[in-house]
Amino acid sequence: MAVSGIGKYDPNNIFAKILRGEIPCKKVIENDWALAFHDIAPKAPVHVLVIPKGPYVSFADFSQRASDKEIAGFFKTAGDVARMFDLDAPGYRMIGNVGPDSGQEVPHFHVHILGGRPLGPMLVE
Ligand code: 5GP
């Protein structure tokens, strides 16, 4: 079910459990600001999720409350993920679902890095 883009952070959401090591993940990168790991149900040959270490419900929340260092560290990590998979030249898609209209399911801010094949139109009409 889609979640609200703002509101109180639920420390028991699945990505919080992954951050605490309570649930395993296939880790790609971890640093002070972010954790990147493979999506459990990949929609493309490369499908990596990048999440901030801090407790932010969505981009709406992250963009208001996170520090400049957290924001810079997070987005640099997303770029590093794409480079790790040699996606800069062929291109890729970075998606962030925010709130109910987007269908965001996990209430911890994340972006999807998708690539490895032509991805087709941005939205299905
Ligand atoms: P959203 O719809 O919130 O933007 O995307 C949530 C993503 O998290 C989905 O692509 C889904 O496959 C992925 N996901 C949900 N649960 C898990 C999990 O336990 N492990 C991993 N690696 N990915 C998950």
Q: Ligand 1 pocket, 30 CB below 6 A?
A: no
Q: Which of 121, 53, 67, 64 is nearest to 98 (CA)?
A: 64
**Topology of the domain covering 33-115:** HIT family, subunit A (3.30.428)
Q: Give residue 112 CA to ligand 1 midpoint distance, Å.
A: 9
Q: What is the pLDDT of residue 89?
A: 98
Cα torsion angle, 53, 56, 57, 58, sign: negative
| pLDDT band, residue 6 (cuts 50/70/90) | confident
Q: Which of 59, 35, 63, 60 is nearest to 49 (CA)?
A: 35
For residue 96, give the ligand 1 atom closest to its CA: 4
Q: What ranges do the domains of the chain cover? A: 33-115
pLDDT digits (tens, 9 = 90+) for 34-44: 999 999 999 99
Q: Ligand 1 pocket, 104 CB below 6 A?
A: yes
pLDDT digits (tens, 9 = 90+) for 105-124: 999 999 999 999 999 999 98
pTM exceeds cut of 0.95 = yes
Q: Give residue 38 CA to ligand 1 midpoint distance, Å.
A: 9
Residue 22 has pLDDT above 80, yes or no: yes
Q: What single letter denotes the amino acid at residue 95?
A: I
